[in-house]
Amino acid sequence: MVEAPRNTRQRRAVVAILEDLDGFASAQEIHDILKRRGESVGLSTVYRSLQVLADAAEVDALRNDDGEVLYRQCSAGHHHHLVCRSCGRTVEIEGPSVERWADKIADENGFRDVAHTLEIFGTCSSCA
Amino acid sequence: MVEAPRNTRQRRAVVAILEDLDGFASAQEIHDILKRRGESVGLSTVYRSLQVLADAAEVDALRNDDGEVLYRQCSAGHHHHLVCRSCGRTVEIEGPSVERWADKIADENGFRDVAHTLEIFGTCSSCA
DNA sequence: TTCGTCATGACAACGATTGTCAAATCAACG
DNA sequence: CGTTGATTTGACAATCGTTGTCATGACGAA
């Protein structure tokens, strides 16, 4: 029996930010936005909330080139991302043939418990 | 005019390790291996050597789930990797159709300066 | 060999993230 | 509603990979 997480002001605030944003953002960026809005939430709490959300698959997480983890509220189901390096704006993409290809490659080489990461980075038209 | 890097004992030692390994390894792992072999090289120097090699595209670098950067001496040209999560053993893979697909998606959405990351992780047969 | 420069290494500093723990807050229950 | 007890919070310290610093040492051209 898993405990339901409590419905706290802080967690609601983090979720609200994620709902407003349309792109990926780091924990620290989200923390800053909250501070700017006056709805201050401790940095540790932002990190913890995002972890909980990511574990529950309610948000997607990926690492940028600098090794920072970025979070985004995404639609359910497996998909990949086309992400603007500059503003974080994101387009969800699907690639069924890529999935099949990756699984086939792994299988041919005797690999088990296969997962793959696939992200496309670029500069979006607004940022160009 | 680019300065040619000096041919130092330390850089030779790092390259030698990379030549011996067939999989990805972190800077700290390489540092440990060097220490074990008695050919001690400062940790900073290991990091710097790997950076230089990565900038020169003589080694490939990728991040594992923990955010550590792993390095590997790879063949030239664009390719992806099937990496064992446990031992680092790596199979280089190519996916021309994936490349085209990624570029098309990015173009359709007006993204410029497009790059993509694609790695497949799994457990290899020896580690299963 | 000489000499200017680049590389090295011990160490400090950094930045993102995680751990700690007392105090505050939730929500169920009476 | 007030009590209650477990969960959550937040300020802060700690961690971990990595990068910066700078005096010392090693390369290699002349």
pLDDT tens-digit map of A56-89: 999 999 999 999 999 999 999 999 999 999 888 9
| A35/A3 same-domain check | yes
The percent of residues above 70 in pLDDT, for chain B, comes to 98
The percent of residues above 90 in pLDDT, for chain A, comes to 91
When the pLDDT of each residue in chain A is averaged and rounded to a whole number, the result is: 94
> Domain limits at A104?
77-127
Q: How far apart are CA A16 and CA B97, in angstroms?
A: 39
DSSP string of B36-49, one letter each residue: HTT----HHHHHHH
Q: Do A124 and B111 touch (CB under 8 A)?
A: yes
When the pLDDT of each residue in chain B is averaged and rounded to a whole number, the result is: 94
| B99/B59 same-domain check | no
Q: Which residue of chain B has the CA closest to A100?
A: B98
Judge whether residue B124 has pLDDT over 70.
Answer: yes
| A103/A60 same-domain check | no
Judge whether residue B4 has pLDDT over 90.
Answer: no
Q: How far is the CA of A8 from the C1' of C21 (A)?
A: 20
| B89/B114 same-domain check | yes
Pick from B82, B111, B122: which is nearest to A122 by CB? B111
CA distance A7 to chain B (A): 29
Q: How far is the CA of A100 from the C1' of C14 (A)?
A: 42
Q: Minimal CA–CA distance to A85: which of B48, B117, B81, B36?
A: B117
Specify whether the CB–CB gap between A122 and B106 falls below 8 A: yes
Provide the annotated binding site of B for Zn(2+): 84, 87, 124, 127
Interface residue of A111, A121, A125 to substitute, partner B, most B CBs within 10 Å? A111
* CB B70 within 7 Å, strand C: no
Specify whether the CB–CB gap between A90 and A72 falls below 8 A: yes
Residues of B in contact with A85 (CB under 8 A): 113
pLDDT confidence of residue A5: 84
Domain boundary among B74, B96, B114: B74
Judge whether residue A17 has pLDDT over 80.
Answer: yes
pTM for the full model?
Answer: 0.92
| B33/B57 same-domain check | yes
Q: pLDDT higher for A50 or A4?
A: A50
| B10/B66 same-domain check | yes
Q: How far is the CA of A52 from the C1' of D20 (A)?
A: 35
pLDDT confidence of residue B3: 63
Q: Minimal CA–CA distance to B41: which of B85, B3, B8?
A: B8
pLDDT confidence of residue A86: 86
Q: Does A106 touch chain B (CB under 8 A)?
A: yes
pLDDT confidence of residue B86: 87
Q: Minimal CA–CA distance to B25: which of B79, B62, B67?
A: B62
Q: How far apart are CA B50 and CA B83, in angstroms?
A: 19
pLDDT confidence of residue B128: 82
DSSP string of A51-92, one letter each residue: HHHHHTTSEEEEE-TTS-EEEEE--SSS-EEEEETTT-BEEE
CA distance A106 to chain B (A): 7
pLDDT tens-digit map of B31-74: 999 999 999 999 999 999 999 999 999 999 999 999 999 999 99
Please give the tally of structural domains in chain A: 2
pLDDT confidence of residue B2: 57
pLDDT confidence of residue B100: 95
| A111/A122 same-domain check | yes
Judge whether residue A2 has pLDDT over 70.
Answer: no
Residues of B in contact with A93 (CB under 8 A): 105
CATH no. for residue A68? Answer: 1.10.10.10
| B69/B85 same-domain check | no
